[in-house]
C-alpha cells in the first residue's frame, strides 16, 4: 500500500507516559510516509491515545470516536485507531461498541504500530492487548518540543493500589537497560535537546527486574545508579524524573539529586491521602508519617526544592475527619503544586465494587475545598521567588503575549519574560523575578548562560 502524502492525526489523553508513547507512534507513522495533520478531519489515520484513570477522560474518547465513526461511513478508507489504556481495558468490547474501529492496541504494543497497521491495510480488524515483552524501539519519536524530551526508563507497574487501573492496562514492570537509556539520551543531546525527563509509572522501581545484586545486597541497577550513569550525557543540561512512589523513595536517591548538578530541584511524589486508614484501604504501603519524613529529608539536603504531588478526595468510606487529615498534610507541607481529583470508580479495580461509595456532591465539595487550600499554599511558596535571579530554560513563545518567551525554572515554575523566541529558544537565561503568582512567575532577563561542559 502506498502511503505517500497520506496524513495522520493523534489526540493524546492523560499522563506523561501517554505523551511519550504518542511521540513514538508519531515517529513510526512518519517513517511510514505519513504527514502530520493538525485537523483530524483532514487525516487518513486517526489515533486516539487514551487514558482510563478518570471516567470523564474515557467518556471524552467515545465522544470523539462517535464523530469520526460517522465520517468513516462516507470515507471507508479512513483508519481509526484506539491505543492506550482504554484500549487495553476494553479490548474486543471496543469493537462491539464502535464497530468502525480498525485497530485496538494496548500501551505495550506502541512499538508495533507499523506491523499492526500493515495488517489493517491488508483488510483485517486488529485487537492487540495481549501481554508482551516490550522490545527496544529504534524508531525516532516525533518530539512535540525541540527543547525538552521524555525518555521512558521503566514500563508497567507492579503495585496494586485498590483504585488504580495502571497494572491492568500497562502490564508488569519492565526496565530498559541503562545502556539503551543512555544511548537515547546521547542522541537527544546531539540533536540539541537541553532537558530530559525520565519517565516511569513507578520510577523508583527501576531495575528491580534487571539481573544482578551488589555485595551489599542491593539490586545492581537502581534508579539512583541510573541517575549517576546518565548524568554526564553531553548536551543535556537538565534532568527531571517522574513519577515517584513514597514506598520506595530513599535517602540515597535524595543525596544523589543534591549531589548531581544537572538534576533539577523538583520532586513529584504523590501522597493521595493524608489519612493512614485511607492509605491502607488504598493499599499504598506507607503512612502519612513516612511521607512527612521523605519531605523533611528532601528539605534537609535541598531546602529550596519544589515539591509537587497528587491527591484523591472522596475515596470510598472517607470520613470528613479523614479528609481533614489530607487538608492538614497540605497545610503542613506547603506544596508548590498539587494535582487533585475526586475519586472515580474504574473497571477492574477492587475499590469500584465497594458499597461505601461517597456521593458526587460530597466529592465535589471536598475537591473544591482542597483546591482552594492548594492555591493559597502555592501562592505562599511563590513568595520566595520575588526578587531572586532564577535560571530559566526557554521552551516557547508566550501564546498570550508574542513579545514574551516562556520556560521553567529548575524548580519547575513556569516563567515569562520579554525576549525573541528565535534567539532564545533552548537557551538557559538568568531572569530576575519581578511578579509572582500561585503557579507562574514573570521576570526580566539578565544574561544567557553558556552550556555546561562535562
- Contact partners, residue 403, CB within 8 Å, separation at least 6: 418
Residue 264 labeled ligand binder:
no
Q: What does the alpha-carbon distance between residue 22 and residue 188 come to, in Å, rounded to a whole number?
A: 17
- Going by C-alpha positions, the residue among 142, 147, 143, 136 that lies closest to residue 182 is 136
Residue range(s) of every CATH 3.40.50.12160 domain in the chain:
7-128
Give pLDDT, residue 142. Answer: 53
Give pLDDT, residue 132. Answer: 53
3-state DSSP helix/strand/coil % of the chain, to nearest 5 = 40, 25, 40
- CATH 3.40.50.920 at 148-384, yes or no: no
Q: What does the alpha-carbon distance between residue 293 and residue 381 come to, in Å, rounded to a whole number?
A: 20
Give pLDDT, residue 454. Answer: 40
Place of cell 467515545: 62
The total number of residues written for the chain in this structure: 454
Residue 257 labeled ligand binder:
no
Pair 239, 227: CB distance under 8 Å: yes
Q: What CATH number should be reported for the domain whose range is 386-445?
A: 2.40.50.140
For 68, the 3-state DSSP assignment is: helix
Taking only the tens of pLDDT, the chain with its 454 residues reads 444 479 999 988 877 777 888 888 998 899 888 999 999 888 999 999 988 766 666 677 788 888 888 888 888 889 999 988 887 878 777 877 888 888 888 887 888 888 889 878 877 787 887 765 454 554 455 566 789 988 989 988 899 899 987 776 677 888 999 999 999 999 999 999 999 999 988 999 999 999 988 888 888 899 999 999 999 999 999 999 998 999 999 999 999 999 999 999 999 999 999 999 999 999 999 999 999 999 999 999 999 999 999 999 999 999 999 999 999 999 999 999 998 989 988 778 899 999 999 999 999 999 999 999 999 999 999 999 999 999 999 999 998 899 999 999 999 999 999 999 999 999 999 999 999 999 999 999 998 875 444 4
Q: Are strands 238-242 and 7-12 parallel, antiparallel or unpaired?
A: unpaired
CA angle centred on 126, ends 117 and 77, rounded to 5° = 55
Q: What does the alpha-carbon distance between residue 46 and residue 238 come to, in Å, rounded to a whole number?
A: 34
Q: What does the alpha-carbon distance between residue 238 and residue 409 come to, in Å, rounded to a whole number?
A: 10
Q: Whole-model pTM? A: 0.74
Pair 343, 313: CB distance under 8 Å: yes
Q: Got the DSSP string for 301-313? A: H-TT-EEEEEEEE
Residue 142 Cα to chain centre, angstroms: 17
First to last CA, the chain: 48
Give pLDDT, residue 453. Answer: 40
Pair 275, 288: CB distance under 8 Å: yes
Report the CATH superfamily, name and number, of domain 7-128. Methylthiotransferase, N-terminal domain (3.40.50.12160)
- What DSSP character marks residue 401? -
Give pLDDT, residue 1. Answer: 41
Give pLDDT, residue 354. Answer: 96
Q: Got the DSSP string for 181-245? A: HHHHHHHHHHTT--EEEEEETTGGGTTTTSS-B-TTSSBSS-HHHHHHHHTT-TT--EEEEE---
Residue 161 labeled ligand binder:
yes
Q: Got the DSSP string for 389-407? A: EEEEEEEEE-TT-TTEEEE
Q: What does the alpha-carbon distance between residue 86 and residue 97 come to, in Å, rounded to a whole number?
A: 13
Pair 291, 246: CB distance under 8 Å: yes
| Burial category of 447 from C-beta neighbours within 10 Å (exposed 0-12, middle 13-18, buried 19 and up) | exposed
- Going by C-alpha positions, the residue among 45, 408, 442 that lies closest to residue 194 is 408
Residue 164 labeled ligand binder:
yes
Name beta bridge partners: 265. Answer: none
Residue range(s) of every CATH 3.80.30.20 domain in the chain:
148-384
Q: What does the alpha-carbon distance between residue 102 and residue 360 come to, in Å, rounded to a whole number?
A: 36
Give pLDDT, residue 53. Answer: 64
Helix (H) or strand (E) holding 437: none
Residue range(s) of every CATH 2.40.50.140 domain in the chain:
386-445
For 11, the 3-state DSSP assignment is: strand
Q: What does the alpha-carbon distance between residue 222 and residue 411 come to, in Å, rounded to a whole number?
A: 24
Give pLDDT, residue 165. Answer: 77
Amino acid at each position: 500500500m502506498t502511503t505517500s502524502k497520506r496524513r495522520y492525526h493523534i489526540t493524546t489523553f492523560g499522563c506523561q507516559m501517554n505523551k511519550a508513547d504518542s511521540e513514538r507512534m508519531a515517529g513510526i507513522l512518519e517513517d511510514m510516509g505519513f504527514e502530520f495533520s493538525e485537523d483530524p478531519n483532514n487525516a487518513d489515520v486517526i489515533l486516539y491515545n487514551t487514558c482510563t484513570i478518570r471516567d470523564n477522560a474515557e467518556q471524552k474518547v467515545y465522544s470523539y470516536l462517535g464523530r469520526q465513526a460517522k465520517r468513516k461511513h462516507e470515507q471507508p478508507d479512513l483508519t481509526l485507531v484506539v491505543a492506550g489504556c482504554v484500549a487495553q481495558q476494553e479490548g474486543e468490547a471496543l469493537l462491539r461498541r464502535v464497530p468502525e474501529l480498525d485497530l485496538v492496541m494496548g500501551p505495550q504494543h506502541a512499538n508495533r504500530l507499523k506491523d499492526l497497521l500493515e495488517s489493517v491495510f491488508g483488510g483485517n480488524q486488529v485487537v492487540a492487548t495481549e501481554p508482551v515483552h516490550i522490545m527496544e524501539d529504534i524508531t525516532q519519536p516525533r518530539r512535540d518540543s525541540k527543547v525538552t524530551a521524555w525518555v521512558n526508563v521503566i514500563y508497567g507497574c507492579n503495585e496494586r493500589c485498590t483504585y488504580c487501573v495502571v497494572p491492568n492496562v500497562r502490564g508488569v514492570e519492565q526496565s530498559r537497560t541503562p545502556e539503551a537509556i543512555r544511548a537515547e539520551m546521547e542522541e537527544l543531546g546531539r540533536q540539541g535537546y537541553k532537558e530530559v525527563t525520565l519517565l516511569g509509572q513507578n520510577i523508583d522501581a527501576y531495575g528491580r527486574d534487571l539481573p544482578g545484586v551488589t555485595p551489599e545486597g542491593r539490586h545492581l541497577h537502581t534508579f539512583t545508579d541510573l541517575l549517576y550513569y546518565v548524568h554526564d550525557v553531553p548536551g543535556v543540561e537538565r534532568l527531571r524524573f517522574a513519577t515517584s512512589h513514597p514506598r520506595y523513595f530513599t535517602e540515597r536517591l535524595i543525596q544523589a539529586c543534591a549531589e548531581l548538578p544537572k538534576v533539577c530541584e523538583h520532586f513529584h511524589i504523590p501522597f493521595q491521602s493524608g489519612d493512614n486508614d485511607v492509605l491502607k484501604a488504598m493499599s499504598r504501603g506507607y503512612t502519612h508519617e513516612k511521607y512527612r519524613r521523605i519531605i523533611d529529608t528532601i528539605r534537609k539536603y535541598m531546602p529550596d526544592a519544589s515539591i509537587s504531588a497528587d491527591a484523591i478526595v472522596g475515596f470510598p468510606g472517607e470520613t470528613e475527619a479523614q479528609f481533614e487529615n489530607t487538608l492538614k498534610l497540605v497545610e503542613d507541607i506547603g506544596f508548590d503544586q498539587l494535582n487533585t481529583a475526586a475519586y472515580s470508580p474504574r473497571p477492574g479495580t477492587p475499590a469500584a465494587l465497594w458499597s461505601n461509595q461517597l456521593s458526587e456532591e460530597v466529592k465535589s465539595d471536598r475537591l473544591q475545598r482542597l483546591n482552594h487550600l492548594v492555591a493559597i499554599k502555592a501562592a505562599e511558596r511563590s513568595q520566595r521567588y520575588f526578587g531572586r535571579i532564577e535560571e530559566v530554560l526557554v521552551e516557547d513563545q508566550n501564546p498570550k503575549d508574542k513579545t514574551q518567551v516562556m520556560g521553567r525554572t529548575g524548580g519547575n515554575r513556569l516563567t515569562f519574560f520579554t525576549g525573541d523566541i528565535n534567539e532564545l529558544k533552548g537557551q538557559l537565561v538568568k531572569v530576575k523575578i519581578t511578579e509572582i503568582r500561585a503557579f507562574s512567575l514573570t521576570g526580566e532577563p539578565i544574561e544567557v548562560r553558556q552550556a555546561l561542559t562535562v
